[in-house]
A and B are shown apart, each in its own frame.
Chain A
Amino acid sequence: MASDMLSIAASGARAARGALDVTAQNIANASSDGYVRRSLRIEELSASGGAGRNGDISLSGARIAEISRNADPFLQGEVRRTDGDLRRANTELSGLRNIESALEQSGIFTSIVEFEASLQQLAGDPSDPSRRAAALAEATTMASKFQITATGFDSAGDGLRFDADAQVKEANIIGGELARVNLRLTRAGSGSSDRAALLDQRDQLLERLAGFSSVTTSFASDGTVAVSLGSTPARSFVQGGASGVLSSTQAADGTLSFAVDGQATNPGSGSLAGAGLALTTLAATRNRLDALANGLANTVNAGQAAGVGYDGSPGQPLFAGTTAATLRVVLTSGQGIATAPAGSGAGSRDTQNLANLRQALATENPAQQLSSLLFDVSSTVAGRNVTQSALETIASSARVSLEQQSSVNLDTEATNLIRFQQAFQASGRAMQVASDIFDTLLGIGR
């Protein structure tokens, strides 16, 4: 007889023990990040009978054939893609929100209106020193508000660049890790629990990398992965056990460009792409604000030059500086505001030059310009808000689909616990029966 009931029952008990171990592992990792539910494949062990013994029963019990990961590569790819898009939108949105805050909360619009109002008030009585002082004070406030806004832009840009730098470093670390995981995967036995853990690690690393930049992956049959970063064109980043170096370069206007091993690429999605987009918007917004500050200063200074101050001396420039960051008031006294046209004597109450200046300002309309700048930024933010919430929904449903497919359901595990416990008990029972049979045989003839 080729079969041995005791060893069959023992193999069954071993398989059930293994299954119980896997179930306990699943339960323990029910809320672990990136853990994919393991399941056990148990297969029958049997041998075909040898020559002349075709009728024999030849059974050897069961064995654990494979510990498999229930991961769907398509769903995982979807999670990487949608998560990259979401991170791009998040980073861009938070950058844009900072730009919006810098522009709106500095109160620059109000200060421009106040400056205009102070000039209008000065027209009521140009000989009033307090009205002159008020106009000069409003000009000073406005200039410092421009500076505050420029500083706000600086720190928004610095924050984005700092984050991007840190992310580039992290992406390089992840690249190195992926290469190491690739090497270990080539050595791990197929169907082993070690391999399943490595695959978990690989997928987690890929997901983190996809959060920074778009990734293109190709999986080999042994589970190793080749990764290309970015889009148009994608550059090879991890190949087998070797990984490249991602780098970022800052242009003069503060925008970032990226390269893998020195070859330029565009991140496409992920937070690096978001930072790139936000920095581009920041540079454009900054240019417009600088142009506005410059235009305002030129208009006021030209108006000043055309008239004379209260003491009859030719009007001196009120502002200096050509950008928002450098705009400042250089006129020392309100008496220097050129309200009267050239040729008027000292103490003239003629407001013709002030009227011309106000007319020129009304044509330049810095308040309206700033309002449209703010409108453009805020409507971009509003638009991106909608995009972001759409992407959030998409990304979260992709993640939920993956989790539903691949992560642990405690009810199923509880069922498995009972099932395999019963299997274990049944195998134990079979062993007892085998022992009883043996006893019966020994007892014959007593």
Chain B
Amino acid sequence: MINLSTGAFFERSTQQIGVLRARAETLQQQIGTGDRIERSSDDPVAAARLRMLARSERMATVDTRNSQLAEADLKLADQSLGSIADLVIRARELAVQGTAPTLSDEQRAAIGIEIKGLRENLILLANSRNIAGHALLGGQATGAAYVDDGVTAQFVGTAGVDPLEIGEGQSVVPGLTGPEVFEFETADGPTDIFSVLGNLAAALTTGGGTAMQASSDALASLDAGLAKVTTSQTVIGARLNWVDLMTERRENNAERVAEERADVGGADIAVTMSRLQETLTVLEATQASFVRLANLSLFSMLR
């Protein structure tokens, strides 16, 4: 005969009810937090994946910040390049005027003074700063890009700009150096726009036949200089496009990451809710039947 002990019955019942309660509580917690995983051991593989996703999300926010920085720098550079191009065009107009044989020396000298002024403005533009206060065209230097002694403008920045990471292993060079914008080749060898303007201004101020000749010589150089400036503008524009493209990709990526996070670690409310309901129903039934069975004692029949 199997002896159904009273103690065993109570132990079994409490165990069953305890298990059901624990299950209901876990489900309730999943609904409360929205996460399926409370600690790594709940699902080690998913937890490891979630960690890596969180890491890439965090890195993407820094990428976004750096990308915004690069974009701001590039936009500022674009604006100053626009102004620089305007200045060079104005200088070319003046040089064309200077070639006219009808002008007097005084008029040429006046043109020379204006060109000198343009050159000074150009130096100021070349030294324009970005948001962080560094020269836009100075490479990695912290101060000004050009130092002008009135005759020659000396580039004091660094030779290159380090590329800046903007996510997914891609990078962008967030600026140009002075030589990349202002130095170019002429028939007489390498020169820069500052010395071209300086020489032209000096020649025009001096007056005489050389002044006219200098004006027409300068035209070719100014054309080459303008071409260099507009090329730089194109380069900057292309880089801005690249930054835009990467920003879009980052946004898409962030969406994908968020989706994967929800897939891997999120609790499906509908499923969890119905599981909870099911567990609670079973729990209630167990409790009710426990009470009825526990009341079934022969002692209650003994009178």
Q: B-contacting residues of A (Cβ < 8 Å)?
A: 30-31, 37, 70, 97, 100-101, 104, 109-110, 113-114, 116-117, 120-121, 123-125, 127-128, 347-352, 355, 367-368, 371-372, 374-375, 377-379, 381-382, 385, 396, 399-400, 403-412, 414-415, 417-418
Q: Would you call B65 and A378 a contact (CB within 8 A)?
A: no
A374 touches which one: B5, B6, B10, B48 (CB < 8 A)?
Answer: B48
B135 CB, nearest partner CB in chain A, Å: 10
Beta-carbon contacts under 8 Å, B41-55 to A: 41-45, 47-48, 51-52, 54-55
Q: How many residues of B contact A (CB 8 A)?
A: 48
Interface of B is mostly: helix
B291 within 8 A of A: no
In the complex, the answer to whether B3 meets A409 with C-beta atoms within 8 Å is yes
Whether A371 pairs with B65 at a CB distance below 8 angstroms is no
Number of residue pairs A-B, CB distance < 8 angstroms: 147
B110 touches A (CB below 8 Å): no
Measured in the bound complex, the distance between the Cα atoms of B1 and A404 in whole Å is: 11
B66: interface (CB < 8 Å): yes
Of residues B43, B52, B62, which shows the largest number of chain A Cβ atoms within 10 Å of its Cβ?
A: B62
Report yes or no: A399 in contact with B39, Cβ–Cβ below 8 A. no
CB pair B66–A378 under 8 Å, yes or no, is no
Which chain A positions have C-beta within 8 A of B69? 124-125
| A341, B159: Cα distance in complex, Å | 15
Q: Is the CB of A382 within 8 A of B42?
A: yes
Q: Which residues of B contact A407 (CB under 8 A)?
A: 5-8
B271, CB-defined interface residue at 8 Å: no
Known: A37-B3, A379-B44. 7 other contacts (CB 8 A): A120-B165, A121-B66, A127-B132, A378-B40, A378-B47, A400-B11, A417-B302
Q: What are 23 contact pairs spanning A and B, CB under 8 A?
A: A100-B39, A100-B40, A104-B39, A117-B58, A117-B59, A121-B62, A123-B164, A349-B141, A350-B162, A352-B162, A371-B51, A375-B47, A379-B44, A381-B41, A382-B44, A403-B5, A404-B4, A408-B5, A410-B299, A411-B4, A411-B297, A414-B299, A414-B302
Q: Could you tell me which B residues sit within 8 Å of A by CB distance?
A: 2-8, 10-12, 15, 39-45, 47-48, 51-52, 54-55, 58-59, 61-63, 65-66, 69-70, 132, 134, 140-143, 158, 162, 164-165, 297-299, 301-302
Indicate if the CB atoms of B40 and A374 lie closer than 8 Å.
yes
Contacts of B298 in A (CB 8 A): 410-411, 414-415
User: CA separation between A109 and B58, bound complex, in Å?
Assistant: 12
User: CB-CB < 8 A to B63: which residues of A?
Assistant: 120
Q: Name the CB-closest residue of A to B138.
A: A349
Contact indicator A382/B41 (Cβ below 8 Å):
yes
In the complex with contacts A117-B59, A348-B140, A408-B66 CB distance below 8 A: no
> Do the beta carbons of B162 and A351 come within 8 Å of each other?
yes
B25, chain A: closest CB distance, angstroms = 16
What residues on B are CB-neighbors of A414 within 8 Å? 297-299, 301-302
Considering the chains assembled together, what is the distance between the CA atoms of A70 and B3 in angstroms?
A: 10
| Contact residues in B for A415 (Cβ distance below 8 Å) | 298
Q: Looking at A70, A101, A382, A418, which has the most chain B CB atoms within 10 Å of its CB? A: A382
In angstroms, how far is the closest chain A Cβ from the Cβ of B40? 3
Nearest CB to that of A379 among chain B residues?
B44
When chains A and B are docked, how far (Å) is the Cα of A350 from the Cα of B157? 11
Q: Is the CB of B3 within 8 A of A412?
A: yes
* Inter-chain contact A101/B39, CB cutoff 8 Å: yes
Contact (Cβ within 8 A) B134 A127: yes
The answer to whether A406 touches B5 (Cβ under 8 A) is: yes
Please tell me which one of the listed residues A120, A347, A348, A418 contacts residue B66 in the complex, with CB atoms under 8 A apart: A120
B51 touches A409 (CB 8 A): no
Contact B140 A349 (CB under 8 A): yes
